[in-house]
Amino acid sequence: MSKTYSYPFKLNIVQAYLDGPLGYRLLAKKYDVSSVQLIKNWVNQYQLYREAGLKRKKTKKKYTLRFKLNVLKFKLETGASYKETANAFGIGEPSIIANWKRLFMEGGAQRLNKPIGSPPKMPKSSRSSNQKTTQPKQKTDQVARENAQLREENNLLKIELA
Domain boundary among 15, 31, 54: 54
Q: Are residues 68 and 111 in the same domain?
A: yes
Measured distance CA(58)–CA(82) in Å, rounded? 24
Domain total in the chain: 2
> What's the Cα-to-Cα distance from 149 to each of 30, 115, 145, 152, rounded to whole Å?
49, 15, 6, 5
| pLDDT one-digit tens code per residue, 50-84 | 777 777 665 677 888 899 999 999 998 999 999 88
10 Å CB burial of residue 74 (0-12, 13-18, 19+) is middle
| pLDDT one-digit tens code per residue, 89-141 | 888 788 889 999 998 888 888 888 776 665 666 666 655 555 556 677 788 88
Q: Are residues 12 and 37 in the same domain?
A: yes
Residue 30 resides in a domain = yes
135: left (phi over 0), alpha (psi -120 to 50) or beta: alpha
Residue type for 99, please? N
Q: Are residues 47 and 67 in the same domain?
A: no
Q: Are residues 66 and 108 in the same domain?
A: yes
Measured distance CA(27)–CA(88) in Å, rounded? 27
Residue 126 resides in a domain = no
Residue 102 resides in a domain = yes
| pLDDT one-digit tens code per residue, 33-43 | 888 888 888 88
Q: Are residues 47 and 66 in the same domain?
A: no
Domain containing residue 84: 61-115
Q: Which helix (H) or strand (E) holds 9?
A: helix 7-19
Name the pTM for this structure.
0.49
Q: Are residues 15 and 46 in the same domain?
A: yes
Residue 79 resides in a domain = yes
Q: Are residues 74 and 40 in the same domain?
A: no
